[in-house]
Amino acid sequence: MRKMSDALYLSLWYPNLRLAALPDKLTAVLGTFAARGGEARVYAATVWPMNWSESPVFQRVYGHGERGMQPRQAVEEALELLHDDYAYEFQIGWTLWELESGGGLDNRWVREPRLVRVTGFGPLFDEGTYEQDGHIRLDFGRDAPFLEEEADLDAVGARHVEENVRQLVELTDAVEKASGATARLLWSELGESLAQRLADRLGMRN
């Protein structure tokens, strides 16, 4: 049975977090990407009021690479509008090995950038969504690069998938340490364990 790729998230929580401390936490998280396969600058920033169904009250697309905004500057600009019921979303580039399908047997691995969404939640946004999603949530997009469950992995493919997972683990550890998170959760919409699925995929189960 073919398995659809699933969205992958990392949620971070901080003890007794005051809204005024959120900018420093977001800056710390965004600042870890450059050393772990990501860009040093923020691609875009969006501020959502109340809940996800509302129109943004702030939106900037800076661009990739040198056109991007330094994390601290992007956070300062977006969080000028600091409200309990706002969510602050930043997009930043992160590069992984991806399996590019050429049809038939012509598949090749390429290093491809993707945008990770880093969102800080005010305590009243969407009826306190932070309790479930974290004070800060990272949305990595689809989990296929960490599993490639529909592909027949050879030694090269298995190595690239392992490199992606190692990069994910290193980034997860780094954002937790840099931002002082006291709890974290790596999760998917399907609620399945990424670690277990990875072990199944690479035939590492005993």
pLDDT tens figures, 15-26: 999 999 999 999
Terminal Cα-to-Cα distance of the chain (whole angstroms): 23
pLDDT tens figures, 168-181: 999 999 999 999 99
Given this model, what pLDDT does residue 90 score?
98
User: In sequence order, what DSSP letters do the residues of 17-48 get, joined into one string?
Assistant: --GGGHHHHHHHHHTTGGGGTEEEEEEEEEEE
SS3 assignment, position 161? helix
Q: Contact, 36 vs 174, CB < 8 A?
A: yes
The answer to whether the Cα torsion of 195, 96, 92, 86 is positive or negative is negative
Q: What are phi and psi of 107, to 5 degrees?
A: -110, 140
Amino acid identity, residue 23?
Answer: P
Residue 182's CB is within 10 A of a number of other CB atoms, namely 11
Q: pLDDT band at residue 206, thresholds of 50, 70 and 90?
A: very low
Given this model, what pLDDT does residue 114 score?
95
What's the pTM value of the predicted model, to 2 decimals? 0.91
Residues whose CB falls within 8 Å of the CB of residue 60, separated by 6 or more in sequence, listed in order? 44, 45, 46, 69, 74, 77, 78
Q: pLDDT band at residue 189, thresholds of 50, 70 and 90?
A: confident
Q: pLDDT band at residue 191, thresholds of 50, 70 and 90?
A: low
Instruction: Measure Cα distances from 36 to 20, 29, 30 in Å.
Output: 28, 12, 11
Instruction: Report the percentage of the chain scoring pLDDT > 70.
Output: 88
Q: Provide the residue ranges of all domains of the chain, joining segments of one domain with +.
A: 7-201
Specify the pairing of strand 58-61 against strand 38-49: antiparallel
